[in-house]
Amino acid sequence: MVDAVIIPFPSRVPADLTAQSAPGDANARLHAAMESLQGALLEQRRALSDWRFAMTELGIGVAGLGHSLAGYQDALGGVDTRLTHLREASKRLEAWADAALDATSAPAAAQTES
């Protein structure tokens, strides 16, 4: 990931110094200022392009995460279904075991009563 680069603004020239300069110097300063502005705009475009790329990567990562979570949700649904079947089977087994115990204890109870 690309870290942001802060572009500092150039220091201002005090107003009294600019008033004393010759008209030719004003054009040179204007030209230099325009070149500096062009450079700053180019850097800003690059930074914006990098930011857009980072946002695209983030979107891809989030989409992948959503896909993974959907897969986990489906897997948990399958586990829930299997657990429901196991619970039903264990209840049937428990009922069978209770019936078997009742059947074996019934003759013993009949023998103790006689």
The predicted structure's pLDDT at residue 7: 77
Q: Which residues of 52-76 are buried (b: 16+ CB within 10 A; e: fewer)?
A: eeeeeeeeeeeeeeeeeeeeeeeee
Asked whether residue 6 is assigned to any structural domain, the reply reads no
On whether residue 13 sits in a domain, the answer given is: no
Give domain status of residue 72, yes or no: yes
What the block records as the tokens of 59 is 């979107």
Is 10 part of any domain? Answer: no
Q: How many domains does the chain have?
A: 1
Global confidence as pTM: 0.48
The pLDDT, as a whole number, for residue 11 is 75
Residue pair 7/43 in contact (Cβ under 8 Å)? The answer is yes
**Per-residue pLDDT band at 13 (split at 50, 70, 90):** low
7 within a domain of the structure (yes/no): no
Asked whether 1 and 58 are in contact (CB, 8 A), the reply is: no
2 domain residue, yes or no: no
Q: Which domain holds residue 35?
A: 22-113
Rounded CA-CA distance 80/112 in Å is 47
